[in-house]
């Protein structure tokens, strides 16, 4: 395979329009490693590429002596090393340097003509472009239109690596549409909101708070994958509607029950708004948990019903689903009631006197500790019952599936 390793010098600081700096051209024909045909300047107006390993090595020395701080020296050395690596892999590598000039349009045209000359003379199957700046990298499409470009080697001088790397990372960031939407769009909205808010209000605190809220919301929206979740939710809902799943109805019922629970919790918490935040949260949980647990039970029952209607063995995890919200609801309500009762926000549970013929039971009050223990034990028993049902029914389904 024949590969052209070309070092690009767009501004012509290394190679002038009449040939290489210092007049170095490979003309001795001794560069047998390259298998290149030595090339002389032909006096054309578009300049002559420097071709051949010895010619490029001479150019490295001339460039380094002329300007030891130039990054072009590193670029030329990288081209030589790339060509050597390709030869070690058994490929035929032609190393060359093409140059333009100070004028942008004429420089690009000159490099395009030099690439055409190299392709016509050496007929490479592919090319590796070596550049040392973003300006030179812009010529990659020009070269790619003449010969297939397999790779672009960006040479970054170690002292300027941080600056160059930052530029390339910024360029890659701006090319990513999703990142632009996640960062630049919220930032732009926040910057546009600043003058509007300053016009409407004279409070810098409000302006900073709104701008930070906009940027933070945008970043969290993408960072937490809310957009992907919403897209997947819409697709799942559409598929469920088309397939006639019963869970659609139960999901709507569950959403309604959850809204009722949130409203009930908010009303209960508003009565203790002057108390500590812990008691306010416990009041919200105490009033909302029964509704939220019922909502979870409705959603789980709908999913379980869908699995049953498929006439396939039901997995144990689906059988356990209806028991989970009930068990969690009992435990959470028990702890919420414990804290509220200890704070005097709710009354303890009292059992009225009961008489069964000759046997009578006096009325008594259930303490907060006993009440908490009862709820926790009830939650654990419901959870164990769910595990037992899932294991029993799931095992039967598995045996039935094996028998088939």
The pLDDT value recorded for residue 378 is 92
Listed ranges 105-109, 137-141, 303-307, 361-365; the one with the highest mean pLDDT: 137-141
Is residue 344's pLDDT more than 90?
no
Nearest-angstrom CA–CA distance, 271 and 266: 9
* Threshold 0.85, pTM exceeds: no
pLDDT band, residue 18 (cuts 50/70/90): very low
Confidence of residue 206 (pLDDT cuts 50, 70, 90): confident
pLDDT at 57: 92
Q: Is the pLDDT of residue 372 over 70?
A: yes
Most confident of 301-305, 373-377, 389-393: 373-377
The lowest-confidence range among 81-85, 95-99, 231-235, 307-311 is 231-235
pLDDT digits (tens, 9 = 90+) for 155-187: 866 555 566 667 666 766 666 666 667 677 777
- The pLDDT of 25-36, averaged and rounded, is 41
Mean pLDDT of 328-345: 88
**pLDDT value at position 120?**
93
pLDDT-derived band at 238 (thresholds 50, 70, 90) equals low
pLDDT of residue 321: 82
Rounded mean pLDDT, 39-68? 75
Summary mean pLDDT of the chain: 78
Tell me: pLDDT of 374 over 70.
Answer: yes
Helix axes 323-342, 277-309, angle to 10 degrees: 170
Q: Would you state the pLDDT for residue 172? A: 67
Most confident of 44-53, 208-217, 226-235: 208-217
What is the C-alpha separation between 47 and 260, in angstroms, rounded? 81
Check pLDDT > 60 for residue 213.
Answer: yes
Q: Which residue has the higher pLDDT, 147 or 204?
A: 147
pLDDT of residue 46: 52
Question: Which tens digit of pLDDT belongs to each residue from 118-136?
Answer: 999 999 999 999 988 878 8
Judged against a pLDDT cut of 50, whether residue 381 lies above it is answered with yes
User: Cα-Cα-Cα-Cα dihedral of 156, 181, 184, 190, to 10°?
Assistant: -170
Lowest mean pLDDT among 213-222, 252-261, 308-317: 308-317
- Residue 241 pLDDT > 60, yes or no? no
Q: Does residue 390 carry a pLDDT above 90?
A: no
- Interval 191-201: pLDDT, tens: 787 777 777 77
Task: Find the range with the poorest average confidence among 17-21, 154-158, 355-359, 395-399.
Answer: 17-21
Q: What is the pLDDT of residues 58-71, one digit of tens each?
A: 999 998 888 887 77
Overall average pLDDT of the 98-106 stretch: 77
89-98, 131-140, 151-160: range with lowest mean pLDDT? 151-160
- Burial class of residue 186 (count of CB atoms within 10 Å of its CB; 0-12, 13-18, 19+): buried
């Amino acid at each position: 395979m024949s590969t052209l390793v070309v070092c690009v010098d767009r501004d012509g600081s290394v190679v002038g329009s009449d040939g290489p700096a210092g007049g170095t051209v490979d003309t001795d024909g001794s560069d047998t490693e390259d298998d290149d045909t030595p090339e002389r300047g032909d006096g054309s107006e578009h300049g002559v590429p420097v071709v051949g390993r010895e010619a490029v090595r001479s150019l490295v020395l001339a460039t380094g002596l002329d300007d030891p701080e130039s990054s072009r020296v590193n670029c030329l050395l990288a081209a030589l090393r790339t060509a050597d690596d390709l030869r070690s892999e058994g490929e035929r590598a032609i190393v060359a340097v093409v140059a333009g000039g100070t004028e942008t349009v004429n420089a690009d045209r000159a490099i395009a003509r030099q690439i055409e000359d190299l392709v016509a003379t050496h007929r490479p199957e592919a090319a590796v472009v070596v550049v040392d700046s973003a300006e030179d990298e812009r010529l990659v499409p020009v070269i790619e239109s003449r010969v297939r470009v397999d790779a672009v080697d960006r040479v970054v001088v170690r002292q300027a690596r941080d600056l160059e790397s930052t530029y390339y990372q910024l360029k890659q960031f701006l090319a990513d549409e999703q990142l632009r939407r996640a960062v630049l769009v919220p930032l732009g909205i926040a910057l546009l909101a600043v003058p509007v808010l300053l016009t409407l209000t004279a409070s810098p605190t409000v302006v900073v708070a709104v701008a930070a809220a906009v940027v933070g919301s945008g970043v969290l929206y993408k960072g937490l994958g809310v957009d992907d979740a919403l897209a997947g939710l819409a697709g799942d809902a559409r598929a469920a509607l088309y397939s006639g799943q019963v869970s659609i109805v139960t999901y709507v019922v569950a959403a309604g029950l959850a809204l009722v629970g949130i409203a009930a919790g908010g009303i209960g918490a508003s009565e203790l708004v002057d108390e500590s935040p812990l008691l306010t949260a416990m009041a919200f949980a105490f009033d909302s948990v029964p509704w939220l647990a019922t909502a979870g039970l409705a959603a789980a029952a709908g999913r379980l019903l869908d699995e049953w209607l498929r006439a396939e063995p039901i997995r144990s995890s689906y059988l356990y689903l209806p028991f989970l919200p009930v068990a969690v609801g009992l435990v959470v309500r028990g702890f919420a009631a414990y804290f509220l009762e200890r704070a005097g926000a709710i009354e303890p549970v009292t059992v009225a006197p009961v008489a069964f013929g000759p046997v009578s039971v006096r009325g008594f009050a259930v303490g907060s500790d006993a009440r908490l223990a009862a709820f926790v034990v009830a939650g654990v028993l419901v959870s164990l019952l769910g595990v037992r049902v899932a294991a029993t029914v799931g095992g039967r389904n598995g045996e039935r599936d094996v028998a088939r």
